[in-house]
Amino acid sequence: MRRTVYNEDHEAFRETIRDFIAAEVVPVYDEWREAGAAPRDFYKKLGELGVFGIEVPEEYGGAGESSFKFQAVVAEECARAGVSFGGSSVHTALCLPYLLTYGTEEQKRRWLPAFVSGDMMTAIAMTEPGTGSDLAGMKTTAKLSEDGTHYVLNGAKTFITGGVHADRVLVCARTAPPTPEDRRSGISILVVDTTSEGYAVGRKLEKLGLHSSDTAELSFTDVKVPVGDLLGEEGKAFGYLGHNLPQERLYIAVGAYAQSAAAVEFAKAYCRDRTVFGQSVAAFQNTKFVLADCKAEVDAMQAVVDRALEAHDAGELSAADAASAKLFTTERAAVVIDKCLQLHGGYGYMMEYPIARLYADTRVSRIYGGTSEVMRSIIAKSMGL
């Protein structure tokens, strides 16, 4: 079926991204994986290409586009090539909406030009050791100084993608204790300068997959954060997080669909080239049936993703809709990619093959951005259950 979710501008951008990946990423991607991160100067190349500024207004150096579909194109092309752009997806898909929606005019003029160019990389720090998806249980605190000029930040965060290279981190912290009526109250977002005294990057975490993106532990010991770096209103951050989570979950859904589509292509190519018992693996009926099943699954995922993309651009993507899209695509991606790996036989278990990397990379999609169990709870609540 003809896909109608993208227009000519999106497709022209797709060609640019595809050529960029082939020239700048694929030849060195194994080096990135071994290093556990994309090199810092790569992000400046993305800035020069305009990837970081697509949704940033022109007055701050961006292109002023309102469509999230450009970011979806990037996710699809990375999956198609079996690569990733390191922590850049957090920079654009997660952090940018907070800066655009809740930043003051002064903050936008101070931060966004460097955000667009890649001179200032960002990350967001929500998760803490021991709290997981329970953001209301966070222990990191930010107390206002007696003279009211700055906050004093103390605590720790973990699983922070992009945390090693980040120049500014959006840190969620308690500026007031929770109330008996609402344990989610009293949380604020501080945009912390990573060169601040008392700010420390701990272990760079060794992950099952996503080896080209740096993920770290962070700690804060009496870090002074100017009051001018408070994002939005004090104590209102939990509501901000809920407002932006649908886009984060949509991005994960797009990635799950795109990785599944790529897995089918990798398996199809492998089965055509691989000979067993005197004929290509693709000639066996079992191979044809498995790939046909996978193709049908991918078609269904694409329909869900495209509908969600249209709804998001129209401002109509609800939290339950995003949760449903994420749950369906990530759960089905696990099945499709597993089947495609099986068709590779023993070679599917070798990391030199992109199907093995996809298998490892996609596992986290059912965990981050809210686990599948959390998605089910959101959907059930929307059903009145």
Strands 187-193 and 168-174: antiparallel
Q: Higher-confidence residue: 241 or 98?
A: 98
Residue 180 structure tokens: 């008996």
The verdict on whether 76 is a catalytic residue reads no
Across the range 178-192, mean pLDDT stands at 87
Q: pLDDT-based confidence at 133, cuts 50/70/90? A: low
- Pairwise CA distance, residues 377 & 141, whole Å: 29
What residues pair up with 219 in beta bridges, in sequence order? Answer: 156, 200
Same domain? For 54 and 98 the reply is yes
Domain that holds residue 211: 123-234
Q: What percent of the chain has pLDDT over 70?
A: 99
Residue 332 has pLDDT above 90, yes or no: yes
When the pLDDT of each residue in the chain is averaged and rounded to a whole number, the result is: 94
User: SS3 for 3?
Assistant: coil
Q: Which long-range contacts (CB under 8 A, 24 or more apart) does 34-38 make?
A: 34/211, 36/204, 36/206, 36/211, 36/212, 36/214, 37/86, 37/87, 37/164, 37/165, 37/204, 37/212, 37/213, 37/214, 38/85, 38/86, 38/87, 38/88, 38/212, 38/213
CA angle 170, 252, 382 (to 5 degrees): 95
- Pairwise CA distance, residues 335 & 167, whole Å: 38
Across the range 226-252, mean pLDDT stands at 93
Q: Per the domain annotation, does 2 fall within a domain?
A: no
CA dihedral 230, 99, 120, 219 (to 10 degrees): 50
Same domain? For 108 and 142 the reply is no
Across the range 111-130, mean pLDDT stands at 94
- Pairwise CA distance, residues 111 & 60, whole Å: 9
Across the range 299-325, mean pLDDT stands at 97
Same domain? For 142 and 226 the reply is yes
Q: pLDDT-based confidence at 132, cuts 50/70/90? A: low
Contacts of 364 (CB under 8 A, 6+ apart): 207, 208, 209, 210
**Which residue of the set 55, 77, 217, 248 is catalytic?**
248
- Pairwise CA distance, residues 284 & 154, whole Å: 61
Same domain? For 250 and 368 the reply is yes
Question: CATH number of the domain that 35 lies in?
Answer: 1.10.540.10
The region of weakest confidence among 60-64, 76-80, 136-140, 172-176 is 136-140
Tell me what pLDDT residue 243 has. Answer: 85
Q: Is the pTM of this model over 0.85?
A: yes
Q: Cα 366 to the chain's mean position, in Å?
A: 12
Residue 77 has pLDDT above 80, yes or no: yes
**Which of 71, 87, 120 is the last residue before a domain boundary?**
120
- Pairwise CA distance, residues 172 & 263, whole Å: 36
Residue 87 has pLDDT above 90, yes or no: no
Q: What's the number of domains the chain is made of?
A: 3
The region of weakest confidence among 76-90, 131-145, 326-340, 353-367 is 131-145
**Which of 98, 120, 142 is the last residue before a domain boundary?**
120
Residue 131 has pLDDT above 80, yes or no: no
Same domain? For 206 and 277 the reply is no
Greatest mean pLDDT range, 24-38, 103-117, 201-215, 230-244: 103-117
Residue 198 has pLDDT above 70, yes or no: yes
Q: Per the domain annotation, does 73 fall within a domain?
A: yes
Q: Per the domain annotation, does 214 fall within a domain?
A: yes
Q: Per the domain annotation, does 3 fall within a domain?
A: no
Tell me what pLDDT residue 100 has. Answer: 96
Same domain? For 89 and 42 the reply is yes
Q: Per the domain annotation, does 333 fall within a domain?
A: yes
Q: Per the domain annotation, does 1 fall within a domain?
A: no
Residue 181 has pLDDT above 90, yes or no: no
Tell me what pLDDT residue 145 has. Answer: 92
Radius of gyration, alpha carbons of the chain: 21
**Which of 75, 94, 120 is the last residue before a domain boundary?**
120
Across the range 38-60, mean pLDDT stands at 94
Q: Cα 202 to the chain's mean position, in Å?
A: 21
Residue 240 structure tokens: 């901000």
Question: CATH number of the domain that 146 lies in?
Answer: 2.40.110.10
The region of weakest confidence among 15-19, 33-37, 217-221, 266-270 is 33-37
- Pairwise CA distance, residues 350 & 356, whole Å: 6
Same domain? For 173 and 63 the reply is no
Give 223-238 pLDDT, tens digit per residue.
999 999 999 999 999 9
Q: Where are the beta strands (DSSP E) in the chain?
A: 122-125, 141-144, 150-161, 168-174, 187-193, 199-204, 215-226, 230-231, 275-276, 279-280
Question: CATH number of the domain that 342 lies in?
Answer: 1.20.140.10
Q: Higher-confidence residue: 178 or 143?
A: 143
Same domain? For 38 and 105 the reply is yes
What single DSSP character describes residue 146? Answer: T
- Pairwise CA distance, residues 280 & 289, whole Å: 15
- Pairwise CA distance, residues 275 & 279, whole Å: 5
